[in-house]
């Protein structure tokens, strides 16, 4: 019997993360992801994903220094960014520029230093392109800021509020890794051929660009913008359900219960909601949608997924919609690279297909 789409087929052993959709569990190397999002920074969790342990204070200083050193882009990458057509999407730009980084320093086998370099450079690529398209002065990375704060600084030209940094950093931690999803699988397939890390990451980026994988938060934002106010939420949602319109940010292919990432982001949003209109609207809208889903579709288990609160968080920190998927990539780069390094010791991924075409006449 064939499992179309490889659903329920195990393609690799991994020690990086564990996803249990039935129980709503997400584990990063023996730690609950939701706890890491509350108590640890993106860099600390990146160290955990790559090296298998949270860093000591001394190790963290050393690790952070590597990140900071790798944030700057080579001059030839600036030249490429300057000539790319304006109608290329941000994801197309990222894919092209990451591919252009594939010099001899990224030869097989993949290493942690290579992973740090790609991860550190991606926010700089995004910010450079963002300002270039708008005719603004390029904002260079700072050495005294952590990953999420530096990303917001490069986009806005000024330091973000502590609440905004905390919200984005928590989002980054919760999307840093998520098992054998489509983009991770694409990267691992390439890595299993013993190709270089840049080739593997380029494949992962191509998969993430697809709207079925990385584009959902922007659709949630469009929904929240259409609702507009808390007073309009129930009317809008009822109308949408009666017309059969899909409510974005609810239901998940893997999680059959509450998405643990959504739970963690909701907790953070609730702490910050009084200071931000969009987080406040999102919390209220979620309550309305869950209540009306029970009324209109009592036989379906549709829970809030991570995309719903991801959209609210990214809207609250001031990110434009075209930055949502690239920001996702800036966090997931850690998970992708970890899987590619792990895949070095795995077998070549070589699945089979079932032929359903015509056969020639028997000779």
Positions annotated as catalytic residues are 252, 307
The C-alpha atoms of residue 316 and residue 281 are separated, in whole angstroms, by: 11
Buried b (16+ CB within 10 A) or exposed e, 292-303: bbeeeeeeeeeb
Under DSSP, the state recorded for 249 is T
CA angle at 112 for the pair 181 and 54, rounded to the nearest 5°: 80
Kindly give, in sequence order, each residue whose CB lies less than 8 Å from that of residue 288, ignoring residues fewer than 6 positions away. Answer: 233, 234, 237
Dihedral over alpha carbons 216, 220, 225, 229 (to 10 degrees): -170
Question: Do the beta carbons of residue 308 and residue 262 sit within 8 Å?
Answer: yes
Question: Do the beta carbons of residue 97 and residue 329 sit within 8 Å?
Answer: no
């Amino acid at each position: 019997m064939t499992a179309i789409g490889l659903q329920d087929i195990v393609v690799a052993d991994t020690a990086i993360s564990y996803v249990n959709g039935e129980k709503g569990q997400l584990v990063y190397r023996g730690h609950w992801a939701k706890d890491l999002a509350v108590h640890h920074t993106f860099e600390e969790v990146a160290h955990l994903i790559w090296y298998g342990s949270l860093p000591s204070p001394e190790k963290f200083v050393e690790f952070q220094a590597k990140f900071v050193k790798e944030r700057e882009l080579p001059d030839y990458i600036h030249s490429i960014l300057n000539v790319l057509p304006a109608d290329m999407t941000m994801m197309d730009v990222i894919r092209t520029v990451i591919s252009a980084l594939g010099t001899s320093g990224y030869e097989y086998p993949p290493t942690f230093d290579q992973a740090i370099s790609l991860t550190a450079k991606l926010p700089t690529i995004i910010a450079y392109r963002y300002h270039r398209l708008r005719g603004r002065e390029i904002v260079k990375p700072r050495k005294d800021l952590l990953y999420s704060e530096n990303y917001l600084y490069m986009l806005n030209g000024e330091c973000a509020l502590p609440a905004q940094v905390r919200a984005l950093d928590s989002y980054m931690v919760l999307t840093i890794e998520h098992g054998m999803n489509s983009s991770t699988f694409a990267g691992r397939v390439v890595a299993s051929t013993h190709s270089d890390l840049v080739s593997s990451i380029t494949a992962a980026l191509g998969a993430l660009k697809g709207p079925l994988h990385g584009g959902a938060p922007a659709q949630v934002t469009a929904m929240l913008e259409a609702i507009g106010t808390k007073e309009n939420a129930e009317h809008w949602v009822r109308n949408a359900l009666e017309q059969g319109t899909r409510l974005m940010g609810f239901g998940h292919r893997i999680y059959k219960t509450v998405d643990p990432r959504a739970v963690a982001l909701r907790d953070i949003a609730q702490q910050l909601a009084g200071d931000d209109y969009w987080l406040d609207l999102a919390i209220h809208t979620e309550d309305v949608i869950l209540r009306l889903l029970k009324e209109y579709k009592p036989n379906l288990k549709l829970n809030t997924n991570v995309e719903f609160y991801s959209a609210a968080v990214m809207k609250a920190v001031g990110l434009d919609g075209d930055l949502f998927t690239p920001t996702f990539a800036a966090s997931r780069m850690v998970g992708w690279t970890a899987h590619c390094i792990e895949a070095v010791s795995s077998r070549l991924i070589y699945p089979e297909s079932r032929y359903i075409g015509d056969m020639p006449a028997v000779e």
